[in-house]
Amino acid sequence: MTASVLLDRAAIENHVRRLGRAIARDHPDGVLLVGVLKGALIFLADLARAIPTVRVDIDFMSISRFAPDSGRVRILQDLGSDIGGRDVVLVEDIVDTGLTLAYLVTQLSARGPRHLATCALLDRPSRRIVPQPVDYVGFELGSEYVLGYGLHVRDLYRNVPYVVAADRDTLVTRPDAYVDDLYRRPDSVREPGGRVNFVPAEEP
């Protein structure tokens, strides 16, 4: 099974710049970016720097999912700030079924922000279970399962600086299948230049 670069650094930068401009335009009084840890950390760090023209405050919440696709989310660490009366953008790495985002939007809306918007680097609308809209979307995915730029499997690959499409079934049985190529042979990554194929580690 191979993995391939779906978004290289230049593509990510373009999407982040576009989203930053849109968020700045829509929030002339400043904005509080709320990142969902850990996946949104890297995206949010870049996004904040792509909003240079208005005041940006940053906060995070950490969550865990009870079971995939269950929509049941536990808040492990809540926000440090009161969002009452604030203009908030909730920042996610990827929206898939929409269950996580829908839960968080309900939670945060109840705290009385002046306005609450949602932003995701990646959106996979074909998998939606709840009709949760995303106001600012970087890139629309098909069925590809992705890693890198904050996205992980068992906490691996978050620091890969691009978004890679990988084989989900391979990762279920071997979460570290792509470690060799993505970490140990970075020379095989040609950027910029679009798609580059990787061959994951062989079965031991």
Token digits of residue 57: 């405050």
Interface region with ligand 5GP, contact rule CB under 6 A, candidates 26-34, 89-97, 107-115, 176-184:
89-97
| Tokens at 100, concatenated | 């996580």
User: Can the peptide bond before residue 38 be classed as cis, meaning omega within 30 degrees of 0?
Assistant: yes
105 binds ligand 5GP (CB under 6 A): no
Q: In the bound complex, what is the minimum distance in angstroms from residue 53's beta carbon to ligand 5GP? A: 29
Distance CA 159, CA 31 (A): 26
Question: What does the block give as tokens for 77?
Answer: 């660490």
Smallest distance from the beta carbon of 147 to ligand 5GP, in angstroms? 5
Footprint of ligand 5GP on 109-168 (CB under 6 A): 145-147, 151-153
If the CB atoms of residues 31 and 120 are measured against ligand 5GP, the closer one turns out to be 120
3-class DSSP assignment, residue 136? strand
The torsion of the CA quartet 53, 8, 145, 23, rounded to 10 degrees, works out to: 10
Residue with Cβ nearer ligand 5GP (97 or 107): 97
Q: Closer to ligand 5GP at the Cβ: 61 or 99?
A: 99
Check residue 180 and report its DSSP letter: I
Given the residues 8, 46, 93, 96, select the one marked as catalytic.
96
The angle at the Cα of 10, spanning 89 to 2, to the nearest 5 degrees, equals: 100
Residue among 44, 94, 119, 134 that touches ligand 5GP (CB under 6 A): 94
Does 96 participate in catalysis according to the annotation? Answer: yes
Residues 1-30 close enough to bind ligand 5GP by CB under 6 A: none
Q: What angle do CA 165, 97, 100 make, to 5 degrees?
A: 105
Interface with ligand 5GP (CB under 6 A): 39, 92-101, 145-147, 151-153
Please give the positions annotated as active site.
96
